[in-house]
Structure 1
């Protein structure tokens, strides 16, 4: 077999999904966030936050949590659950029906697993010798959206489809359906090893909005969510504004989307802002921050008084002349307005065109420290760990990166690649790089998995240094990220970079990852993509929580101007990624 060859393995059969009982949640309280009880405690499953020895906090976990968990070294044949591709994209994928224009989705064939040997050649018969070391799930780019937020720039839709999507009012039921899918997985689809945690790799929220943060944390930990801000009795966004630029689902207006085949759906907006119940993940979960989490619009520096007042106020801009929109998008795309000065001027210039909406303090932006403190709020503890990777030390130091134990012999590192001065591209400063260098040295006898939001291609400052650092440390096996909204798997000499598609743009995916020792001097990382638990074929008469999750996927497939390459090639989807087993340094 050539070192660059790729082969495929067969698929499996389906199983049923299930959901847990929800628990109540509530809105964030800004003062209480800053005084939330801190912790770096133990969790169920394999992962827990490392204390001083891990370099992630100045105050370590309680004594009971400091011991490294027992090994999860299970031969695949002896795993408690038989490996199965059921309920994953190995078994089936949402596929469009034949036709032109707006198309419905239905059950389609699965994506086969591809063996990738660019970094090492495995031996035959490794399946019998294989030992499972770690098994977990990655979520990324959930983009839980307050679609009525005054700072959203939907009017740039003509310039970029990401400015407004016809499906985004359904982001909350869509994410809850993904959680239901993970809760129903019996184990790792390649090894059968129990899944031990979920890691989110950023852009958990969309617009640095306090209400969005509450929705995200409640969805992950369990509870009730009402995805509505402003007037509690009505919807006040662009989808009932009477403009042809946006899909008006309950109107007779022949808007641009209906001209492409989008349906008229009476009751859609009322259903979109109705209460959603999340069972919460039954697995522990960890959090990594993204640019949309900390920056208004995902690109403007936070802390500006004008933008804060506008966010909670009673005015919103719904449309903009095309030439002005093109100029604004150019500024965003090229990072020419990181502090939002031109954006503020634009809002002032068009103040007479602003429409009235109900003001709401829940739309206030949150600071990085408030973001960290919210994770520590006991009501969002869910399946643990308390803080979901973050500790009181992270809050005190305003530091959103940390180390955590995944399993015996396996350590995870969560980075902060946001550019707090503004811009959607990433940044990794010298202090964080030096910290990571120390962590890699400290855990030279462990395998290390690195998590971040941005990819190697979207970190112009510090990205090259990070690549070089990881290559100098062959026990760093993978860099797992998101941001691009596209499935991509890239070899980098000694490690794999694994980028996973978002859950807001079609094909709306997450990914399981399983690390194994092949017993032949090589390791394998198995990656398997999963969809939400919602049926592929939706029913327009079904506006239940599950029905909305199906519609969320269908609308995303039909979104005008959507990028069609986000699923990636076969070798970027379900894979076995082989690596040389690194030699231990003395």
Structure 2
């Protein structure tokens, strides 16, 4: 059995980093902890001395420091029970842990020497959806089958079940050490709508959620439209998806729009912004055409266009031909006579960056904290969405805003933020660092100017990698966006290296989150353990069970069978449950 020691439970790991941190040599913008709450006065864009050090506890304090696999994909993973057609899911074999040594050799006996530095959970790409929203692009399915997913109405119960999974964990899987916090790495919402933002904050911090908008008496959207293009669960009529084996579930839509209760996370949680959070539909600039904001709350919804028109619009989005949404405005106007009447709802209005920050700072959504979930009033004053925080005595976290307000779904950083990142790493050279963002290094290719800072240069992934490689204290860059598990080693000159950990979404199969543990092996190496988790819902869906838990199980099975869905998003074995070795910087 591993004799792992934890900084949260033992003083034996005290070293030079710890002494410097305790002396206030580590300067950060916000504190973190299970009971600590950073104040609004703590700046999020400028370093302040003597930031408090985290104190955390495991979800179950009685848990021993020992490897713990229950409830993780090491123990079991949802897998198909039949070989063809519509695939029903059940309990499958777990995924083994893979040791990766591209950046450092694995030395024998390290399991008996190691000290746990920190452990946390990453959520990414929850895409909580107001599926009745008038601006949604479901009709692109006429060209691309995966442009609309049959399970989208169940994002809220699916996310609540993921919260329930984290709350049930006794500790970190590889070491049994306490989990410090949960970080979301963006695309928390899908349509940049106030309704979705409220649902997200209640999922994370706890509360009652009714995932419905428009007419509270019944659903108004593509799934009761009678259009064969979409799965019509309440109808016996044959549609495109029933032809593939999707079931007839008479009360599905009533259940999907029914009140859901989230217990909220029992751990502190932090928030990183994604393009779907910052931009209408995830692709149109934050200063998009005013017509789109008015259409979002209107009583008209377009549900059907020709395949040719769908392809034209999708191509314009993919190729960033319409970053301000002017072409989309004209597209909606051209199809106005085909739009159907729905109930108008002001809750569907797009939220601004300031709205997003104010909502996180609202005490109603604080949960167990910290106040602002990483953001502070300094962010609000400066118009920024990036910050730093202390994860543990020896580790800091840095949350970036990689979205480009100029439009398009790929990302970049402005010069001011890139310089801040470099300075924050330099000022905290005696702490290890984990960097969080939505976009990956390869998807930061959009250097369109920010309308709020038109003269500021934008920087792609290569520039971010260059900054990170210049600091030997960087252990990992954790992100999402691509909806796929990919773990990439980055080797820089002078022996400096770090791992880029990209995690699959919770909206597309296989609907995962990731636990990451940082461990000092006491032999000149660091290990990063990554362990994937599914929601707490049963692997086997029961069509007669439309309870909150039953819907979460159905969410997973429908996602597995979604037409056009990729079957490779789980990644290879080396991208899933791993031990990633690094040399100490």
The TM-score with structure 1 as length reference comes to 0.89
Which residue pairs with 1:373 in the alignment? 358
Which residue pairs with 1:264 in the alignment? 248
Question: Alignment partner for residue 121 of structure 1, among 105, 115, 140?
Answer: 105
- Cα 1:219–1:70, aligned 2, differ >3 Å: closer, same or farther? closer
**SS of aligned partner of 1:465:** helix
**1:450 deviation in Å?**
0.2
Which residue pairs with 2:44 in the alignment? 56
Which residue pairs with 2:519 in the alignment? 516
- Is contact 1:50-1:403 (8 Å) kept? no
Q: Write the deviation string for residues 22-74 of structure 1: whole angstroms up to 9, x where unpaired.
A: xxxxxxxxxxxxxxxxxx8755339876999x96256969xxx94324699xx
1:134 paired with 2:137, answer: no
- Cα 1:417–1:124, aligned 2, differ >3 Å: closer, same or farther? same
Alignment of 1:297-316 (within 5 A): 297-303=281-287, 304-316=289-301
- Cα 1:263–1:233, aligned 2, differ >3 Å: closer, same or farther? same
Partners of 1:456 and 1:447 in 2: how far apart? 20
Partners of 1:133 and 1:60 in 2: how far apart? 23
1:477 paired with 2:462, answer: no
Which residue pairs with 1:488 in the alignment? 486
Alignment of 1:188-199 (within 5 A): 188-199=172-183
Partners of 2:143 and 2:396 in 1: how far apart? 42
Which residue pairs with 1:25 in the alignment? none
**SS of aligned partner of 1:277:** strand
Which residue pairs with 2:19 in the alignment? none
Which residue pairs with 1:498 in the alignment? 501
**1:99 deviation in Å?**
2.6
Which residue pairs with 1:21 in the alignment? none
Partners of 1:50 and 1:333 in 2: how far apart? 41
Which residue pairs with 2:556 in the alignment? 553
User: Paired residues, what number?
Assistant: 536
1:341 paired with 2:344, answer: no
**1:85 deviation in Å?**
0.9
Q: RMSD between aligned alpha carbons?
A: 2.1
- Cα 1:572–1:133, aligned 2, differ >3 Å: closer, same or farther? same
Question: Alignment partner for residue 199 of structure 2, among 193, 212, 215?
Answer: 215
- Cα 1:55–1:469, aligned 2, differ >3 Å: closer, same or farther? farther
Partners of 2:39 and 2:275 in 1: how far apart? 25
Which residue pairs with 2:371 in the alignment? 386
Partners of 2:517 and 2:34 in 1: how far apart? 15
- Is contact 2:56-2:178 (8 Å) kept? no
**1:158 deviation in Å?**
3.4
Moved more, 424-433 or 491-500: 424-433
Partners of 1:407 and 1:437 in 2: how far apart? 20
Q: Write the deviation string for residues 264-290 of structure 1: whole angstroms up to 9, x where unpaired.
A: 001000000000000000000000000
Q: Write the deviation string for residues 351-386 of structure 1: whole angstroms up to 9, x where unpaired.
A: 110100000000000001110110000000001001
Alignment of 1:246-285 (within 5 A): 246-285=230-269
- Is contact 1:489-1:572 (8 Å) kept? yes
**SS of aligned partner of 2:434:** strand
Which residue pairs with 1:578 in the alignment? 581
Partners of 1:388 and 1:162 in 2: how far apart? 33
- Cα 1:46–1:375, aligned 2, differ >3 Å: closer, same or farther? same
**SS of aligned partner of 1:80:** coil
Partners of 1:140 and 1:456 in 2: how far apart? 16
**1:80 deviation in Å?**
3.4
Alignment of 1:166-245 (within 5 A): 166-245=150-229
Which residue pairs with 1:404 in the alignment? 389
Question: Alignment partner for residue 533 of structure 1, among 519, 530, 536?
Answer: 536
**SS of aligned partner of 1:141:** coil
Q: Write the deviation string for residues 470-527 of structure 1: whole angstroms up to 9, x where unpaired.
A: 1111211100000000000000010000000000000000000000000100000000
**SS of aligned partner of 1:498:** strand
Which residue pairs with 1:153 in the alignment? 137
- Cα 1:547–1:223, aligned 2, differ >3 Å: closer, same or farther? same
Partners of 1:118 and 1:424 in 2: how far apart? 31
Which residue pairs with 2:454 in the alignment? none
**1:159 deviation in Å?**
3.3
Partners of 1:558 and 1:132 in 2: how far apart? 39
Alignment of 1:289-300 (within 5 A): 289-300=273-284
Partners of 1:86 and 1:357 in 2: how far apart? 46
- Cα 1:51–1:274, aligned 2, differ >3 Å: closer, same or farther? closer
Which residue pairs with 1:425 in the alignment? 410
- Is contact 1:51-1:59 (8 Å) kept? no
Unaligned runs of 5+ in 1: 1-8, 11-39, 73-77
Partners of 2:110 and 2:65 in 1: how far apart? 19
**SS of aligned partner of 1:172:** helix
Q: Write the deviation string for residues 389-432 of structure 1: whole angstroms up to 9, x where unpaired.
A: 00000011110000000000100000000011110000111111
Partners of 2:175 and 2:39 in 1: how far apart? 27
**SS of aligned partner of 1:436:** helix
- Cα 1:483–1:47, aligned 2, differ >3 Å: closer, same or farther? farther
Question: Alignment partner for residue 465 of structure 2, among 463, 467, 471?
Answer: 467
Q: Write the deviation string for residues 290-330 of structure 1: whole angstroms up to 9, x where unpaired.
A: 00001111100134321111000100000011111111100
Q: Write the deviation string for residues 216-254 of structure 1: whole angstroms up to 9, x where unpaired.
A: 000100000000000000000100001110000011221
**1:446 deviation in Å?**
0.6
Which residue pairs with 1:456 in the alignment? 441
**SS of aligned partner of 2:72:** coil
Partners of 1:46 and 1:523 in 2: how far apart? 28
